[in-house]
Structure 1
Amino acid sequence: MWQIDQVTLRLFIAVCEEGTIARAAEREFIAPSAVSKRLADLEALVDVALLSRSQRGVRATAAGEALLRHARLIMRGHERLQAELSEYAAGARGHVRVLANVSSMVEFLPEALSVFLKANPQIRVDVEERVSAEIVRGLEEGVADLGICRDVVPMGSLDVLPYRSDHLALIVPRDHALAGETAVGFEQTLSFDHLGLASNASVNALMQRIAMEKGSELNYRTYVSTFDAAYRFIQAGLAVAILPSEALPKHAADEYGIVAVPLREAWAERRFVICMRDRKALTLTAAHLLDHLLRSV
């Protein structure tokens, strides 16, 4: 069985990232000859070429790319192990890292996490906002324990569990021509200027494609980065927006003088999932949070 130490893995990663042994040696504060010796011993151990060398530098072979991918996972895992053990030493009971898309962070995740953390004050939960495709990639690379995202992106080899759903609606001022409708079709909205949420790129692209299929055009007047900014634009009568109705609580609707009119389209219902690399490999703390999230639906 091969035994590859972490120093060798770190040097191999540095060489792949820097492109030359000299720059990798400088980055890791070690002699270039020592780096070369480590790499030569590594290739002899695994009996396959890991690097392709030329006058311009070095690059990973196909086998080297495979090692690089696993080496990064091993090093990240070691760093996380050190951090988690340090937290236990400081009195914490665990640490969970969550990647979540903006809709889940606005609509339901804060309340669910608040209940969990009140019941488990010694557990630390870090949440980072990312778009769904980046969440999947982050989980595959081992940077988080759990991910909450839409079910429309390829999940690869991840374990995936159904979680929640939301519903897209047309958000308009209370005095808008469509404000009194019980529901509207997407085509009814195309005669108005729209506002897009920058983090909602997949929905924006979907609606533009559907508009084109209907022989029309979806005119985006502007894009904003937050729901609050979107509501202010809508309040001012500058545009309408198709956003999740769950992201517009009653107090916000009252504050901005806007309403959510349900969208009468099959694609208006969106499904969310919780994903992870391997449910059986979750830490007890991460599994505890997962169970709480599933029960809170």
Structure 2
Amino acid sequence: MRDLDLTTLRLFVAVCDAGNIARAGEQCAIVGSAISKRLAQLEATVGTPLLLRKRHGVAPTPAGQSLLEHARGMLAGAGRIERDMQAFSCGLRGQVRILASASAMAESLADDVAAFLKAPAHAKIQVDMEERISPEVVRGVRDGTASLGICWDAADIGSLQQRRYRSDHLCMVVPAGHPLARRKALRFEQTLDYDHVSLPINSAVQVMLQRAAARIGRTVNYRVIVSSFEAALRVVRAGLAISLVPREVGQLQAQAWNLKLIPLDEPWARRRFIICFRDAMALSPAAQLLADHLTQPDTP
């Protein structure tokens, strides 16, 4: 199959989004007949119909839907390349992309990166960060989407290399009047009689909690699923459920909202985070500097 043309892919995405070739042509400032010709060439290249022609527009075929997903990814990647090259043309000495888990982003990573960038020697380095769940952090680093990943060391990093980052302490957060609020510490199984708040269900910590419950023949009852720790704490504040959060994230809002943070007496409650990358020798100078800055000394 011949190489795919990014301009044609961009027009294909526009047509799928608009559901109409003429409307896509207006949005892209190109005549509909030119788009139709490009799409016909695209179908010939891939060897299968990509669009269903309907009375008032078009819709992607199953093959077209698959190509649409790939095309969005390719166009996003092309956009990142363009941005990176523009950054170098403006005199930046390096650009580093980091994928990081929600805990790392919410706790210390932003402050650590800010401190790195304040150093005069790093003034021409640009750092981009994106939050992902731990498995996606690992996948993104392995696939080359990012130079560095920050995730819980319980994640399966496969052949990636790693360095020590920071650690945190998991606690159960409950309303002040909750039956568990007077306890000084908790075993995880003691929380399973109550409804929980969950962050994304396929995140590393949620998978670990489900497995921990299954080992004792129980399940975690998730009443609410949210996408951030702040949202989880708001749900707890409303009295709808309890939630597992890092002490380092929850302690300020817990005081302000009259919530109780109770340490978990479990071997996995103190988590260690790692910096992962494909090959230390292959890191760019900017990425190597940032990895060195983020690396914490080993402790017993």
Q: Same fold (TM over 0.5)?
A: yes
Deviation at 1:85, TM superposition (A): 4.7
**Contact preservation (8 Å) 2:170, 2:246:** yes
Q: Identity of counterpart residues, as a percentage?
A: 40
Instruction: Quickly say closer, same or farther: Cα 1:224–1:85, change in 2 above 3 A.
Output: closer
Instruction: Quickly say closer, same or farther: Cα 1:93–1:223, change in 2 above 3 A.
Output: same
Q: Tell me the distance in 1 between the aligned counterparts of 2:208 and 2:84.
A: 41
Deviation at 1:10, TM superposition (A): 5.8
Deviation at 1:28, TM superposition (A): 11
The 5 A counterparts of 1:18-29 are 26=38
Instruction: Quickly say closer, same or farther: Cα 1:281–1:201, change in 2 above 3 A.
Output: closer
Structure 1 residue aligned with 2:249: 247
TM-score scaled by length of structure 1? 0.71
Deviation at 1:122, TM superposition (A): 2.8
Instruction: Quickly say closer, same or farther: Cα 1:143–1:282, change in 2 above 3 A.
Output: same
Structure 2 residue aligned with 1:92: 92
Structure 1 residue aligned with 2:282: 281
Q: Tell me the distance in 2 between the aligned counterparts of 1:292 and 1:151.
A: 19
Instruction: Quickly say closer, same or farther: Cα 1:27–1:164, change in 2 above 3 A.
Output: farther
| Per-residue CA distance 1:225-274 (angstroms, 9 max, x = gap) | 11111111111211111122122132x12222112110011122222111
Structure 2 residue aligned with 1:65: none
Deviation at 1:204, TM superposition (A): 2.3
Which residues of structure 2 form unaligned runs of 5+? 13-36, 50-72
Structure 1 residue aligned with 2:154: 152
Instruction: Quickly say closer, same or farther: Cα 1:157–1:171, change in 2 above 3 A.
Output: same
Instruction: Quickly say closer, same or farther: Cα 1:268–1:218, change in 2 above 3 A.
Output: same
TM-score scaled by length of structure 2? 0.70
| Per-residue CA distance 1:53-76 (angstroms, 9 max, x = gap) | 9x869xxxxxxxxxxxxxx99xx7
Q: Aligned letter for 1:103? A: S
Deviation at 1:166, TM superposition (A): 1.8
| Per-residue CA distance 1:3-36 (angstroms, 9 max, x = gap) | xxxxx7667xx99xx9xxxxxx94797997xx7x
Please give the root-mean-square deviation of Cα atoms over the aligned residues, in Å. Answer: 3.6
Deviation at 1:169, TM superposition (A): 1.0
Instruction: Quickly say closer, same or farther: Cα 1:30–1:163, change in 2 above 3 A.
Output: same
**Contact preservation (8 Å) 1:102, 1:199:** no
The 5 A counterparts of 1:1-297 are 26=38, 80=81, 83-119=83-119, 120-198=122-200, 201-250=203-252, 252-295=253-296
